[in-house]
Amino acid sequence: MGQPKVVLFANTDWYLYNFRASLAWRLRNDGFEVILLSPDGEYGPKLREQGFRWHAVPMKRRSLNPLREAALVMWLARFLHREQVSVIHGFTIKCAAYGSLAGRLAGVSARVSAVAGMGYVFTSSDMTARALRPVVRAVLRLALNGRGSALILQNPDDVALFEATGIVDPCSIRLIKGSGVNLSRFTLRAEPEQRAGRPLRVLLAARLLWDKGIAEYVDAARALKQEGRTLRCQLAGLPDDGNPAAVERKQLEAWVNEGLIEWLGHVIDMPRLLSETDVMVLPSYREGLPKALIEAAACGVALVTTDAPGCREVVSKTGDDGISVPVRDSRALAQAIRLLDGDRVLCRKLGLAAREKALVQFDEQIIIDKTLAVYRELMPAYPRDLGGRADGVTYPVKIS
């Protein structure tokens, strides 16, 4: 009998490369053959360079065509059946639902669905999103239940929401807070004395979607600029063209021309950028558990975020590990940045507290261990327990 196969399925190859490569390496070390699936993209070849099998999936993220979506599920089912996959693990709502549904059709014994945030359909108030919700709920109910199925959620608010809607049997829900952070890459930034006399550097790093609080961040930057403050308000990321809530490039360019923000685009070396950052802000409306915040926390950067699902798991209301502001409140966001600009000692104190929390709760090895515990629950025999692991696991130096 050959190695058991596990499929990791996501809606972008960028997500697999940046958020789940360490999981893939650990699975391979534990005795699995790892197959990665996503729509086509520039990071697929990079995953192959690391020795993984990566296949492009005929998936259009914004498609609402029921025939196209049914064809995608059948493509996945045929692929899983042909490969005789032992575990299918899907990330984000669409991939989780389609992967699990295809897994049931293909007879995959262990189906793990990881939903990081509720996505456009559940967070947007526009007519299309509202019309799709009953359909999406029905698909989720069909896909995410049954023997051999587990649903991983990233925060207690999402757990409560799924339990209240009755979409999934509560017994199949597991709470695992995020994908974790590599603490050997994201290390404590320099002492503030080494950056004395320079303007406060504020950063928002995220997919450029309106529901990340981009408008509130720009409004706060505008208010602080009008006061005459010499802050550097930076924005890292690209518009997510597969999401209806994406900020248009011409709007980003208009803000840059107005002198409100520095738009950095896609940043490959996030540890370096965070080493030069004083404050990370994320005024999001809702998250699963935001990776950008815990990466910044690991670097000892002061955090400002909203009292929203997912965000409140990283920054508590007590104010000991960062500053929490109301959702959609640019004035409160500006006040938090103003406070840290005027009190660099507090800025450093909050950053160090955030790092201590990251060390205890968000180390990616802790998250991976919890994820593999779910696999063990569902599998008749986990390969490592049968002697499938090689000692001395090593991970690539650069996973960015």
Residue with tokens 């952070």: 181
pLDDT at 55 over 50: yes
Q: Kindly state whether residues 143 and 227 are assigned to the same domain.
A: no
Q: How many domains does the chain have?
A: 2
Give the per-residue pLDDT at 122: 64
- Say whether pLDDT at 128 is over 80: no
| 393 belongs to a structural domain | no
Residues 134 and 213 in one domain: no
Examine the pLDDT at 345 and tell me if it is beyond 70: yes
CATH number for position 207: 3.40.50.2000
CB 42 within 8 A of CB 123: no
How far is residue 273's CA from residue 271's CA, in Å, rounded to a whole number? 6
- Give per-residue pLDDT as tens, 80-104: 999 999 999 999 888 999 999 999 9
Whether 154 shows a pLDDT value over 80: the answer reads yes
The arithmetic mean of pLDDT across residues 224-252, rounded, is: 93
Range of the domain at 204: 192-361
Mean pLDDT score, 359-387: 89
245 and 309 part of one domain = yes
Residue type, 50: Q
DSSP calls for 45-100:
HHHHHTT-EEEE----TT---HHHHHHHHHHHHHHHHHHT-SEEEEESHHHHHHHH
Contact 313, 362 (CB under 8 A): no
**Banded model confidence at residue 124, pLDDT cuts 50, 70, 90:** low
Average of per-residue pLDDT across 270-297:
96
Determine the pLDDT at residue 386: 55
Taking the C-alpha atoms of residue 239 and residue 72, their distance in angstroms, rounded to an integer, is 25
Q: Please write the tens of the pLDDT for every residue from 232-243.
A: 999 999 998 878
**For position 109, what pLDDT does the model report?**
93
Q: Which of 320, 321, 322, 343 is nearest to 333 (CA)?
A: 322
pLDDT on residue 118: 61
Q: Is residue 286 part of a domain?
A: yes
| 126/119: higher pLDDT | 126
Please indicate, yes or no, whether residues 94 and 41 belong to a single structural domain of this protein: yes
Residues 241 and 280 in one domain: yes
318 compared with 73, residue with greater pLDDT: 73
Asked whether residue 343 falls in the same domain as residue 380, the answer is no
Proportion of the chain in helix, strand, coil states, percent, rounded to 5: 45, 15, 40
pLDDT (0 to 100) of residue 101: 96
The residue among 97 and 394 whose pLDDT is bigger is 97
Report pLDDT for 119: 61
The set of residues, in sequence order, having a beta carbon less than 8 Å from that of 133 and lying 6+ positions away, is 121, 122
Q: Kindly calculate the radius of gyration of the chain based on its CA atoms and give it in whole angstroms.
A: 21
> Among 214-218, 337-341, 377-381, which is the least confidently predicted range?
377-381
Q: In the predicted model, what is the mean pLDDT of residues 13-25?
A: 94
Q: Name, in order, each residue with C-beta under 8 angstroms of 79's C-beta and a sequence gap of 6 or more.
A: 37, 55, 102
Q: Do 356 and 371 reside in the same domain of the chain?
A: no
Residue 61's Cβ-count burial label (10 Å; 0-12, 13-18, 19+) is middle
Q: Across residues 362-378, what is the average pLDDT?
A: 95
Q: Residue 400: pLDDT above 70?
A: no
Share of the chain above pLDDT 70, in %: 92
| Helices 214-226 and 330-342: angle between axes, nearest 10 degrees | 50
217 and 153 in a common domain: no
Beta pairing partners, 106: none
pLDDT of residue 398: 37
Q: Is the Cα dihedral 121, 17, 277, 349 positive or negative? A: positive
pLDDT score recorded for residue 163: 87
Residue 224 one-letter amino acid: L
Same domain, 210 and 76: no
For the chain, give the mean pLDDT: 90
Residues 247 and 341 in one domain: yes
Average pLDDT over residues 341-347: 95
Closest CA to 358 of 155, 234, 184: 184
**Stretch 325-346: mean pLDDT, rounded?**
97
Mean pLDDT of the 223-230 span? 96
Answer yes or no: do 346 and 368 share one domain. Answer: no
Confidence class of residue 342 from pLDDT cuts 50, 70 and 90? very high
Mean pLDDT of 324-340: 98
What residues contact residue 18 under an 8 Å CB cut-off, 6+ apart? Answer: 43, 399, 400
In a domain, 73, yes or no: yes
d(CA 101, CA 114): 14
Is residue 326 very low, low, confident or very high in pLDDT (cuts 50, 70, 90)?
Answer: very high
The residue-averaged pLDDT of 308-331 equals 95
398 in a structural domain = no
Give the lowest-confidence range in 18-22, 29-33, 187-191, 367-371: 187-191
pLDDT of residue 318: 86
Residue, of 196 and 240, whose pLDDT is higher: 240
E strand or H helix that includes residue 345: helix 344-361
Same domain, 253 and 330: yes
What is the reported pLDDT for 390?
40
